[in-house]
A = this chain, B = another copy of it.
Amino acid sequence: MNLQFSIQPNEKLALRNPESTELGRKIVREGLLLMMELGYEHFTFKKLAEITQTTEASIYRYFENKHRLLLYFLTWYWNLLEFAVLTSIQNIADPTQKIGKVIDILTSPLPDVGEAAGMSKSALQSVAIAESSKVYLVKEVDDINRERLFKPYKDLCARIAALFTELNPAYPYPRSLASTLVEMSQFQPYFKEHLPALTDFAEPKDGKRIADYLNHLVFSSLK
């Protein structure tokens, strides 16, 4: 029953596998919290070195730069999400139910299964919501893509797209709908918190939930 979930890290992600040493684990554990606290732009390796009682140079031995560190966090996040999706639907036969479950997972705190190299699951989710776009909205996107570093994100979307096709094989846009779903499961909570005019989820609980919106969106399309 203990489903072992080990990501085979693309070795281009990190210069040295941070999971293999105490310092490496400290860097990613504390680095994640610091990036959540400061935001990607204000986060620096120097500040992280102070917190982890190490030096900038030591951090650079693990990660080429902070963009790679962000990518490392997101790789974990995407892998954990895909894992959560897979395990949660494994005993469900009905595709409608499976998709509902996926939306549930996308809009809930990450389930506490699997290890994440000591990193906080909720911090991973916060960083994913606020920073994930920055990992591919860069000039270097094609180079990074060539290194296969977006594979975990693509795999997650492909997995979800396959469920859409299972429910409705004639639906013509399963992959776009999957990327829309994943992106919006991050943007809508962000908008809800910071730019509520862009959503319908005003704080005084009016019963509307993001999950309901996404369910409506997806199932309307697949109908």
Contacts and interface: CB of A to CB of B under 8 A. Distances in A.
A141 interface: yes
A197 B38 contact: no
B134 A197 contact: no
B136 A134 contact: no
Interface of A is mostly: helix
B141 A194 contact: yes
A154 interface: yes
A4 interface: no
Interface string A23-64: 000000000000000110110000000000000000000000
Contacts of A173: 200, 208, 213, 216-217
A191 interface: yes
Interface in A151-183: 153-154, 157-158, 172-180, 183
Interface in A119-165: 130-131, 133-134, 136-139, 141-142, 145, 150, 153-154, 157-158
Interface residues of A, number: 51
Given A158-B197, A179-B188, 15 more contacts: A41-B138, A41-B139, A130-B137, A133-B137, A145-B194, A172-B200, A173-B217, A175-B197, A175-B199, A176-B200, A176-B201, A177-B213, A178-B198, A179-B199, A180-B217
Contacts of A110: none
B137 A197 contact: no
A138 B38 CA distance: 10
Interface string A192-223: 00110111110000001010110011001101
Nearest to A187: B183
B138 A197 contact: no
